[in-house]
Chain A
Amino acid sequence: MENIKSSASNLAVDAAPNGDVISGAGSHLTSGLGHLVRANEIDVSHGPILYLEDVNVSFDGFKALKSLSLSIDVGELRCVIGPNGAGKTTMMDVITGKTRAQSGKVFLGQTMDLRRMDEPTIARAGIGRKFQKPTVFEQHPVWENLELAMKSDKRWFAALRAKLDAAAQARIEEVLSTIRLEDSAYRLAGELSHGQKQRLEIGMLLMQQPQLLLLDEPAAGITDDETMELARLLNSLRGRCSMMVVEHDMDFVAALSGEKGKVTVMAEGSVLAEGTLDQVKRDERVIESYLGR
């Protein structure tokens, strides 16, 4: 386990092979001495952007999460795998504020206690989430879905006065071309196919410009070609934000994590193993509980 730990601490640097480091990934290495707490800013000066320690959640006596501890470094793309009922989605619910943890620590950066924040505040703090089932606003055209997701002042008064200026339109156009839905820009999102909805939801996440992206089985129900394209898209986001991907499709995981990327295996509400994909694939306990012999 020692060599895994050390490789993980370098991941923030390794993770940006194409060099487009934007959101301060790795800047903690040069940030120097201490600083004051800055409000509304994720403090990643010690490395991790997300930090869970000893988190417990139970529903009517069923322990969905059992002293789960996990940390994700800034700039990292972490894949989480595990059998059904391992608590992967519950973990995402806890991080995004949908479910309250009974005990433990859930921190975004060094300073933001996610257990004290509600869903919209957590989202505004910089966590974007893609749900298992694509959830887009079906009665809204595609461009309006993207507009709604756009990073902006989300208070009602600002929304009443908001104008769709050239910069915002350029941003929407850019994302539309990234997710290849230009031809459907004015169609209602409800008329899109399943794969197109998945792409639209990814696009909405891009509009949010999150610092940390949580993706819950993004490859579910799309074709193999689309899956590989999605992997390419997510890989291209490396360096722009940290990501946590829950997935069953091992090819997809392999495409995302590469040889050095860290993979976490969850089972029965806690972390079973952590390491590169090869390492966890060889782990006896993982083979027993998840991969099968």
Chain B
Amino acid sequence: MSTPISSTSGNSLPQGAPAGPPATQPGTPSTFKLGLPSRPALLSPAAWGGMIGVIIIVAILVPISALWVPQDSIFHLSTYSITLAGKLMCYAIAALALDLVWGYCGILSLGHGLFFALGGYAIGMYLMRQIGHDGSYGSDLPDFMVFLNWHTMPWYWTGTQHLLYALVLMIVVPAVIAWVFGFFTFRSRVKGVYLSIITQALTYAAMLLFFRNETGFGGNNGFTDFKRIASLPIAADSTRVGLFVLTFAVLVVSFLVLRLIVTSRLGRVVTAIRDGESRLMFLGYSPLGYKLFVWTVSAILCGIAGALYVPQVGIINPSEMSPGNSIEMAIWVAVGGRGTLIGPIVGALAVNGAKSIFTNYFPEYWLFFLGAIFVVVPLLLPKGIVGLLARKRHGGA
């Protein structure tokens, strides 16, 4: 270390400050230096350490314990729990996506279930094509089309037998729908509860559309009975562990990408939109571009979460677009703590973990518990679980 370590007075912000004494003595204004890095560090060293620790546990130890530890060992993880954890991480990615628009930009979307389902349907089309002739009717067409007496595939199914094309659809479809919807609503300066209601209506309308058999997405049964993904048997342990690790990798990458976004100047502008949009306009910012950017990124991320979800749970149907699902996403974010990136992950895991336990052991009490969360969180934890932990640590220090 050749550079002297500057003792910053009371603030933890200036990391990598230029060498030299920190000048914060009052009365000598000319020597005051901010000493901020040109871009803030993505994560603090401690957070990097924690993240690497989690990566080692989840991406290395969990697969070993699931695949190579003998079944009777206490260190063995069942495929059921692996798939459950993978599902929870998909929810966590969706919660991250919602937090970007709600926690950082103040846009409460109650329609993110739509983007989640669209991503799921995109990959679902591919999974249906992967069934090949192994369906009940042994036809070229997916079973539901044979059942409807269709003889050719609708045009929009063209190319869905290729995984790469399905992945493109997974990104492009939610992005385009989000962008077009956002363009018209944000340009008309629709905000607050009105916007929430419109997003709710959007997902509800899409649900009704997908319920129809004529739409060509399997009607109310949706897609199920998947056999293979990338020619690998979808129910095999190794495939399930692979999907789990992939989901975890996507979660880590999306966390870092969002971290990059929210620590940039764009992130600071976006939070300023949340706190005082009209004031920001008088500083020369047009909020439209900023809102469209975070909104579209959020929709894409939500679509990716849905695409990872479908092969793991083995089904996608229009009920994923029901308004209730989208509202539940908002609860995950609120419980975890909006406006932080770790909050939505914690919230999604905590609420859904509790849901899994309750529906296993006391199924009749789950809705009461959810109702209690509804009441307790806004009352006692306005900043969510993460806010509570931060306050505890702050108070203790």
Residues of chain A touching chain B, judged by Cβ–Cβ distance below 8 Å, are 96, 98, 118-121, 123-124, 128-129, 131, 135, 137-141, 143-144, 147-149, 154-157, 159-165, 169, 172-173, 176-177, 180, 182-183, 185-186, 204, 208
Contacts and interface: CB of A to CB of B under 8 A. Distances in A.
A204 B283 contact: yes
B29 A164 contact: no
Q: Which secondary structure dominates chain A's binding surface?
A: helix
Contacts of A143: 34, 36
Given A140-B271, A156-B293, A164-B37, A119 B281 contact: yes
Contacts of A186: 11, 13
Contacts of B39: 163-164
A104 to B, nearest CB: 22
B24 interface: yes
A18 B78 CA distance: 81
Contact of B24 (A121, A124, A183): A183
B268 interface: yes
Given A140-B268, A156-B266, A162-B265, A120 B34 contact: no
Interface stretch (B138-146, B227-235, B284-292): B284-292
Contact of A160 (B33, B266, B281, B285): B266
Contact of B269 (A118, A123, A139, A148): A148
10 contacts: A120-B285, A128-B282, A147-B265, A148-B285, A156-B289, A160-B261, A160-B264, A182-B24, A182-B26, A208-B283
A164 B292 CA distance: 24
A144 to B, nearest CB: 5
Interface stretch (B236-244, B272-280, B299-307): B272-280
Interface of B: 11, 13, 24, 26, 29-30, 32-39, 261, 264-266, 268-269, 271-272, 275-276, 278-286, 289-290, 292-293
Contacts of B281: 118-120, 123
Given A123-B284, A129-B282, A163-B38, A156 B290 contact: yes
Given A123-B281, A156-B266, A138 B275 contact: yes
Contacts of A119: 278, 281-282
B276 A120 contact: no
A276 B286 CA distance: 39
Given A143-B36, A164-B39, A180-B29, A120 B272 contact: no
B275 A120 contact: no
B361 to A, nearest CB: 41
Given A123-B283, A154-B286, A183-B24, 10 more contacts: A148-B285, A156-B266, A159-B264, A159-B265, A159-B266, A159-B290, A164-B265, A180-B29, A182-B24, A185-B32
B15 to A, nearest CB: 13
A128 B286 CA distance: 15
